[in-house]
Structure 1
């Protein structure tokens, strides 16, 4: 419709000047024009009405009369009595800011607001630890706001003081210091050459990002390594990492695909451990923000999450190579510790609800080989895929979390204990094999046929079996049996190290033909600073005190120092062939090198008080989480789930 048809007609004189005069004989507005304007007015009124419904009812609560109204005399801009986010590098377009738009937070007035907040606390005799209620906001906004309150005081007053853990034996103390120095080399060179990047390329001295993190700079090494720094007493370096996390860590705007599983065990798990150690609620808030970005992946008919997600859009999918576009057992079944702790720390039951639903589905599914779980499961139908079974890659941490969930619950989660016992009995029955020379290993199985190989990843199993045996998960006879099985597998993993030129074990080793705990194909011979063998020895040392495990760990540390330290001493790199006398570097210092490998080495040469098994359970990325009702670091108020 032209503009002219909407206006009254005018007359012009001969010079073209408009003469305002009476309208033409036709109606000023045609009928359809009247309908058009009527529709605009009705629409406007409708949207105004809807907007009024969703406005927060600030004056309908006691908060307004008790706090906000009297506080008007104390200052012009009280921001709902909530302190601003102390971040100078935070993206102004992130999720926090648009959700908290009802409570504007101009950073230029931060000091004034802090002084006003102090006056308010003095005026109303409000404890600095108290969280002032927020009126009628949705739970998501409320949780984000509450997590910001009294941040600085919580850091100084509620920090968990870990024991030093020093061993009185001077030789052991010297070895522990050596491991600590390896950590300092790894961290300092990451900070020098790749600060803020996901990982370090120590040979080429630049940043690196694995595909599991997408292409964004998310500081994976910082988040993954923070608790290791805290355990080792490297507080200055820890504080450097804390500042980076506070000012830079966000998934807002990340449009590339990330691994849901890896993000939760590394980022959420690492942040939650830092929160448990320090009670610094910045870490908890960041863990919530990241977990929220992962939740769209759980929006499937069964609640089983997809493997990959684009945080910016929430779109998710599975790997194209996964059987029938299925989700992976280890990925869907290794979230319980993190999400359970997240629910306890935030009071939001949705995290625990999601992992409870997953576990219930896995538990109720038909399993053709007793308690063995196939590696693939369809997120739409909830049915298992191809009949492939392994305690190594794609399956490992699912089994690990069954026993750890029971321990994490202070031995109250009987479902986890039952599932664990059924699983290890099935593993013992169907997958445990022994060579003619006596080496014990855990084979893979496809459709009833065994594959006589083990992966480096499978060498976590001595820790799982020994933890179950020593924690009364079985009767005494079965406990003795599984303790011996743990020792036998730990020995086989050690053999995979001693039978290579570098004295470092390969990614995969076989038990067929002339091969016994040795790599076959050249593509099996790489080492990427994995922790699993050393992790198994760590548990065996703690639970048996057999000195050979400390010796094996020291031998491995020396071999890694010799073959993996970058030429200029600028960090540690994986190598491409453990059977080569002069292996080539892969030029990647993995984030789990700091999160797990170095941490387990350090703890092997520390006493048992440092991260005691009586109070802590390690997640699958090596991040210790406090045991419910046994550890003062566990949140005091445990909410009830729906």
Structure 2
């Protein structure tokens, strides 16, 4: 038939089109990872939803089979509706056979890890994973009453507006100035960017933070700043923010690639901190809701999470620029504090299992000479590019090791040992001394050193000081902490603005200075001030308060604009351009650390609290009553309540 209709040339064209289409489909499946991963994800969704879909099949009559076909959204709709398809039925497809199939599936389900199903098909808000057999209180649902009873088990250390008030008048005056700066930043965000991620103070409009949260409007600054507002006693502002979170914060309909790491440290960390400070169960519910949205990112062969996730679809991937599709050390290693606390609050060990799986994978990959490269492949568990840094891409992984040890009330021995080995290797290999005697941590790429330090690395002074006070056999780290912090301070005072650059180098010609315009900006970063804070608390050396005040004055002078605060593009130019972004971490971290430096130590005491990497205080288990004592970390039972 074909030969009689088409000419030879037309046959060749048809064959060429067909073969091209087949080759395109094959290449698309095997060489486009997102398409392949998306197909696999859809298959997993269908497979896991199978028993639920089977439950929707109605009884069958003798002549027709009638099937309801419904989309399974992340928030299950009310039963009803849906297109109906009918087809002739054979004798082998009668209801008795369908019942036998359903019984078989129920039997198989007994051997399935239901936590995995929960990660794919989370259930809707409100949350309550705290269960017992007591009846609900009158007028309350079972879920509401479970959380009520849990809340009554503890009372968070209250924070009064006068808490932390310093005795000396100079510190009081400085603290009030920091509070005024917070008000200026917050009020302008409320006026010009309410509900959006960040403020553009010069343009007087919202900023999407698209590099980490896509084109979304999810109130990043609101959640990031709330505990700072609470700690400063700005209760009206806090209450307005709390109302927005309750009414508007929802990740169900976010269809954009967002950072798993940033979502965890800013949103989950911020919400859990507010819950610990206030006992408001709404914050716990919201934190749990968001954390469930992140779980599909961990569905990799190694359990190492991808960097980006679409909360609506659950599809996750890594940055295209990361080494050979790798995940990033600082991101995968900076989930522990939040997920462990959330697991213990909800009796849901799934969160804890995720972060301990990551830790196991990192140990199985074996550090290189004790050092952890910045990239690791989530499919193979092998290291990517041999770039090692205490700054960008590596930093908070080390921070969370020592803080996990502290959060566990010194029971997480594994975290302590990993921290000691890693810091000892960093001290041996990366700690350098300049010609003038300034100490800094260099970067290492394969066997070649980069003699520079990021502003991000300046957090290390605080981390080392914390470790020195927590680990008696590492007392010498306090001196290294002071030396590193002195170098960061030097990078500030060597500039006309007295603000430190994003990155600074050590060569024969320069020390602690940026050498390129791309390294000369300041975006309201907190890391140097963070180290001032820790060293002030541990040493009470007044120079750290003076250095912090000097930085605060510089920020107020060069970054303050009429409608907020903005980063500057060149710290070496007092009249330089501004970047027109008021970063959310400026309110979450920079201003909080400054306020606490000029407060007494009883305000967010190290005896009860540990800060996550976004400066959100989380309680210490066994010391802070905001941490549940009814849950034994090592012996808790898995609960199956879900969103």
For residue 548 of structure 1, give the secondary structure of its aligned residue in structure 2.
Answer: helix
For the residues of structure 2 that align with 1:452 and 1:126, how far apart are their CA atoms?
Answer: 63
Structure exhibiting the larger radius of gyration computed from Cα positions: 1
Q: After superposition, what is the alpha-carbon deviation per residue over 1:268-290, rounded to whole angstroms, capped at 9, x for unaligned?
A: 00000001011111100000110
Matched with 1:578 is 571
2:206 pairs with 1:207: yes
For the residues of structure 2 that align with 1:322 and 1:407, how far apart are their CA atoms?
Answer: 31
2:120 pairs with 1:96: no
2:114 pairs with 1:37: no
Any conservation in 1 of the 2:228–2:592 contact (CA below 8 Å)?
Answer: yes
For the residues of structure 2 that align with 1:345 and 1:157, how far apart are their CA atoms?
Answer: 12
2:458 pairs with 1:459: yes
**1:469 deviation in Å?**
0.7
Matched with 1:424 is 423
Aligned 1:178-577 pairs, distance under 5 A: 178-211=177-210, 212-370=212-370, 372-471=371-470, 473-475=471-473, 478-479=474-475, 481-566=476-561, 568=562, 570-577=563-570
For the residues of structure 1 that align with 2:571 and 2:229, how far apart are their CA atoms?
Answer: 29
For residue 554 of structure 2, give the secondary structure of its aligned residue in structure 1.
Answer: helix
Cα distance change of structure 1 residues 486 and 146 upon mapping to structure 2, 3 Å threshold: same
Any conservation in 2 of the 1:95–1:252 contact (CA below 8 Å)?
Answer: no
Q: After superposition, what is the alpha-carbon deviation per residue over 1:413-455, rounded to whole angstroms, capped at 9, x for unaligned?
A: 1111111110111111000000111110000001121100000
Any conservation in 2 of the 1:603–1:610 contact (CA below 8 Å)?
Answer: yes
Q: CA RMSD, aligned part only?
A: 2.9
Any conservation in 2 of the 1:155–1:278 contact (CA below 8 Å)?
Answer: no
**Residues matched between the structures, number:** 530
For the residues of structure 2 that align with 1:607 and 1:389, how far apart are their CA atoms?
Answer: 37
For residue 591 of structure 2, give the secondary structure of its aligned residue in structure 1.
Answer: helix
For the residues of structure 1 that align with 2:153 and 2:217, how far apart are their CA atoms?
Answer: 30
For the residues of structure 2 that align with 1:48 and 1:588, how far apart are their CA atoms?
Answer: 61
For residue 565 of structure 2, give the secondary structure of its aligned residue in structure 1.
Answer: coil
For the residues of structure 2 that align with 1:593 and 1:361, how far apart are their CA atoms?
Answer: 33
- In structure 2, stretches of 5+ residues that fail to align are 1-61, 64-85, 107-121, 129-133, 639-643
Cα distance change of structure 1 residues 253 and 343 upon mapping to structure 2, 3 Å threshold: same
For residue 564 of structure 2, give the secondary structure of its aligned residue in structure 1.
Answer: coil
Any conservation in 2 of the 1:410–1:629 contact (CA below 8 Å)?
Answer: yes
Cα distance change of structure 1 residues 380 and 36 upon mapping to structure 2, 3 Å threshold: closer
**1:343 deviation in Å?**
0.5
Matched with 2:158 is 161
For residue 435 of structure 2, give the secondary structure of its aligned residue in structure 1.
Answer: coil
Cα distance change of structure 1 residues 504 and 47 upon mapping to structure 2, 3 Å threshold: farther
Matched with 1:70 is none
For the residues of structure 1 that align with 2:227 and 2:198, how far apart are their CA atoms?
Answer: 17
Any conservation in 1 of the 2:125–2:285 contact (CA below 8 Å)?
Answer: no
Q: After superposition, what is the alpha-carbon deviation per residue over 1:488-525, rounded to whole angstroms, capped at 9, x for unaligned?
A: 01100000000112110000000013110000110001
**1:528 deviation in Å?**
0.8
**1:160 deviation in Å?**
3.8
Any conservation in 2 of the 1:147–1:285 contact (CA below 8 Å)?
Answer: no
For the residues of structure 1 that align with 2:87 and 2:222, how far apart are their CA atoms?
Answer: 59
Q: After superposition, what is the alpha-carbon deviation per residue over 1:274-324, rounded to whole angstroms, capped at 9, x for unaligned?
A: 010111111000001100000000000000000001111011111111011
Of 608, 619, 624 in structure 2, the residue corresponding to residue 626 of structure 1 is 619
For residue 295 of structure 1, give the secondary structure of its aligned residue in structure 2.
Answer: helix
Cα distance change of structure 1 residues 49 and 612 upon mapping to structure 2, 3 Å threshold: same
For the residues of structure 1 that align with 2:583 and 2:223, how far apart are their CA atoms?
Answer: 12
For the residues of structure 2 that align with 1:147 and 1:526, how far apart are their CA atoms?
Answer: 51
Matched with 2:587 is 594
Any conservation in 1 of the 2:126–2:285 contact (CA below 8 Å)?
Answer: no
For residue 454 of structure 1, give the secondary structure of its aligned residue in structure 2.
Answer: strand
**1:584 deviation in Å?**
1.0
For the residues of structure 2 that align with 1:424 and 1:451, how far apart are their CA atoms?
Answer: 19
For the residues of structure 1 that align with 2:418 and 2:613, how far apart are their CA atoms?
Answer: 18
For residue 433 of structure 1, give the secondary structure of its aligned residue in structure 2.
Answer: strand
For the residues of structure 1 that align with 2:622 and 2:153, how far apart are their CA atoms?
Answer: 23
Cα distance change of structure 1 residues 521 and 483 upon mapping to structure 2, 3 Å threshold: same
Q: After superposition, what is the alpha-carbon deviation per residue over 1:447-473, rounded to whole angstroms, capped at 9, x for unaligned?
A: 1211000000000001111111112x1
For residue 96 of structure 1, give the secondary structure of its aligned residue in structure 2.
Answer: coil
**1:531 deviation in Å?**
0.4
Q: After superposition, what is the alpha-carbon deviation per residue over 1:362-403, rounded to whole angstroms, capped at 9, x for unaligned?
A: 123222222x10000000011111211100000000000111
For residue 361 of structure 1, give the secondary structure of its aligned residue in structure 2.
Answer: helix
For the residues of structure 2 that align with 1:363 and 1:357, how far apart are their CA atoms?
Answer: 10
Any conservation in 2 of the 1:148–1:281 contact (CA below 8 Å)?
Answer: no
Q: After superposition, what is the alpha-carbon deviation per residue over 1:80-125, rounded to whole angstroms, capped at 9, x for unaligned?
A: xxxxxxxxxxxxxx9627999xxxxxxxxxxxxxxxxxxxxxxx99
Q: After superposition, what is the alpha-carbon deviation per residue over 1:19-50, rounded to whole angstroms, capped at 9, x for unaligned?
A: xxxxxxxxxx99xxxx9533499467777898
For the residues of structure 2 that align with 1:236 and 1:527, how far apart are their CA atoms?
Answer: 31
For the residues of structure 1 that align with 2:406 and 2:154, how far apart are their CA atoms?
Answer: 28
Any conservation in 1 of the 2:154–2:625 contact (CA below 8 Å)?
Answer: no
Any conservation in 2 of the 1:530–1:593 contact (CA below 8 Å)?
Answer: yes
Any conservation in 1 of the 2:156–2:625 contact (CA below 8 Å)?
Answer: no
Cα distance change of structure 1 residues 380 and 546 upon mapping to structure 2, 3 Å threshold: same
For residue 610 of structure 2, give the secondary structure of its aligned residue in structure 1.
Answer: strand
Higher relative contact order (CA 8 A, sep 6+): 2
Any conservation in 2 of the 1:197–1:208 contact (CA below 8 Å)?
Answer: yes
